[in-house]
């Protein structure tokens, strides 16, 4: 077991799993249990050789995969009627049609964590009470006495189905007494009654919480290092970064739970360097025009070519997309960019997908690396416009809208990694020598 701080600033234990043999045995039992109930399963090992079992459960017209990696989580699921359980919409919520209940995880939506909310009911409540499941408050429906919503710590079943393991015990809402059986109706009840209660609690306790969303695909798991860093690693970098630009970068790193804000923060890092690299690109263009032996400074058409370069037409260097292009072209290497985009199976699948949920600009990963820089520029800029809901250049309206807590926002993960990569390369390319800092 290890100790970690939760959102309330208090320490709590985290389950780190068990031995491989115990995990294998428990996953075998869970696989048999799920198969006997008609639930699809997939066995596998991750890049470190650790075993896992995937369960596929319904979520309306879609399905959702639960990845189980340890013994404790497996034993929790062994006690569940998995064939009677479905996920609800895009939420970290399950409906158990065997018990006719809905359980939905909630999370802080601002200042104040679980304890601040719970201490509104009892100032003596502690985190140990939450972990022990001793906290429970039930709210009755004003006109249907059989219908109730209970605020309490999330059950082991919801924790495991939500995350595939037993970690922090979050709060949840349990809905009972409802007529269940139709997915869209269940989602409507969850949103209507859940948001109404959470809004009431926000006004009363000033501890805002919201229905937790399931989120998009989990980030690719980083492989554990096999060896310690070499001695040469323990040296300070030879270059230092721009203070203002790196502040924007850390802002992006800190916004992991807000994908739209995180994307824009990393975009702002690249935007910070627009003037520098756009000026270099424009100078190269102007230099080429002036070197033309037929250039006539007294000819308005020739002078107009210089002005077009400075001001920026549709393909010039003055508009935002063109300045982004200058940063991407100057700060990334085509082959390194291609290697990054195909570095994980998740990235490769995401960027080569024909889906237009986020953008119409698909990356041709198998094409010439030199063409990727332009494709990446178009994709990053298009998603940026969809997030801020602006017009593209030359009045071209971006019809896509990426809103907070939407299914599109849940898909942003690999694109956030891409714009973060560009921001990293811009920071590195623009760094200055640390030789004089002694």
Return the percentage of the chain with pLDDT > 90, whole number: 26
Distinct helix (H) and strand (E) counts, the chain: 16, 14
Q: How confident is the model at residue 15 (pLDDT cuts 50, 70, 90)?
A: very low
For residue 404, the model assigns a pLDDT of 87
Q: Are the C-beta atoms of residues 276 and 331 closer than 8 Å to each other?
A: no
Closest CA to 216 of 363, 14, 422, 415: 415
Q: Say which residue the tokens 């949103």 belong to.
A: 191
CA 412 – CA 407 distance, rounded (Å) = 9
Strands (E), 184-254: 209-211, 239-240
Q: Are the C-beta atoms of residues 94 and 158 closer than 8 Å to each other?
A: yes
For residue 285, the model assigns a pLDDT of 62
* Residues 365-394: tens digit of each pLDDT: 888 888 999 999 999 999 999 999 755 554
Three-state DSSP at 130 gives helix
* Residues 270-318: tens digit of each pLDDT: 999 988 887 776 665 666 566 667 666 676 776 666 666 666 544 445 6
The two three-digit tokens of residue 114, written as one number: 């679980």
Residue 123: is it exposed, middle or buried by C-beta count within 10 angstroms (0-12/13-18/19+)? Answer: exposed
Convert 34-103 into a string of H (helix), E (strand) and C (coil).
Answer: HHHCCCEEEEEECCCCCEEEEEEEEECCEEEEEEECCHHHHHHHHCCCHHHEEECCCECEEEECCCCEEE
Q: Are the C-beta atoms of residues 170 and 155 closer than 8 Å to each other?
A: no
Residue 190 pLDDT exceeds 80 = yes
Closest CA to 363 of 324, 402, 337, 332: 337
Residue 326: is it exposed, middle or buried by C-beta count within 10 angstroms (0-12/13-18/19+)? Answer: buried
Q: Which helix (H) or strand (E) holds 192?
A: helix 183-205
Model-level pTM?
Answer: 0.64
For residue 173, the model assigns a pLDDT of 93
For the chain, which residues make up each domain, given as ranges? Answer: 2-211, 235-433
The pair phi, psi for residue 333, each rounded to 5°, is -100, 130
Residue 17 pLDDT exceeds 80 = no
């Amino acid at each position: 077991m290890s100790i970690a701080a939760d959102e309330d600033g208090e320490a709590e234990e985290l389950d780190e799993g068990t031995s491989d043999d115990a995990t294998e045995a428990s996953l075998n039992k869970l696989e048999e249990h799920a198969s006997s109930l008609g639930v699809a399963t997939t066995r596998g090992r991750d890049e470190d050789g650790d075993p896992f079992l995937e369960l596929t459960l319904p979520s309306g017209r879609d399905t959702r995969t639960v990845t189980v990696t340890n013994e404790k989580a497996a034993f929790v699921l062994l006690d569940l009627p998995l064939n009677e359980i479905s996920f609800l919409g895009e939420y970290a919520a399950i409906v158990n049609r065997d018990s006719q209940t809905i359980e939905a995880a909630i999370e802080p939506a601002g200042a104040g964590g679980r304890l601040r909310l719970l201490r509104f009911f009892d100032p003596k409540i502690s985190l140990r009470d939450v972990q022990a499941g001793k906290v429970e408050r039930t709210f009755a429906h004003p006109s249907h006495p059989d219908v109730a919503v209970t605020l309490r710590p999330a059950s082991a079943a919801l924790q495991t189905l939500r995350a595939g393991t037993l970690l922090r015990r979050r709060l949840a809402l349990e809905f009972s007494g409802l007529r269940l059986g139709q997915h869209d109706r269940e989602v409507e009840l969850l949103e209507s009654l859940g948001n109404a209660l959470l809004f009431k609690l926000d006004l009363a306790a000033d501890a805002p919480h919201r229905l937790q969303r399931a989120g998009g695909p989990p980030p690719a798991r980083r492989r554990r290092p096999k060896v310690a860093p070499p001695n040469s690693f323990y040296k300070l970098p030879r270059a230092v970064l721009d203070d203002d630009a790196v502040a924007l970068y850390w802002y992006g790193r800190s916004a992991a739970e807000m994908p739209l804000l995180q994307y824009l923060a990393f975009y702002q890092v690249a935007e910070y360097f627009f003037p520098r690299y756009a000026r270099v690109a424009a100078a190269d263009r102007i230099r080429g025009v002036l070197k033309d032996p037929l250039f006539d400074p007294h000819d308005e058409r020739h002078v107009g070519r210089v002005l077009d370069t400075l001001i920026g037409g549709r393909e010039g260097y003055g508009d935002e997309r063109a300045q982004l292009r200058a940063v991407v072209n100057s700060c990334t290497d085509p082959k390194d960019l291609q290697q990054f985009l195909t570095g994980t199976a998740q990235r490769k699948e995401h960027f080569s997908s024909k889906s237009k949920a986020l953008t119409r600009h698909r990356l041709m990963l198998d094409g010439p690396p030199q063409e990727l820089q332009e494709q990446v520029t178009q994709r990053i800029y298009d998603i940026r416009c969809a997030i801020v809901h602006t017009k593209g250049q030359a009045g071209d309206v971006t019809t896509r809208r990426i809103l907070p807590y939407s299914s599109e926002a849940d898909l942003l993960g690999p694109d956030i990694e891409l714009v973060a990569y560009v921001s990293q390369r811009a920071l590195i390319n623009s760094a200055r020598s640390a030789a004089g800092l002694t």
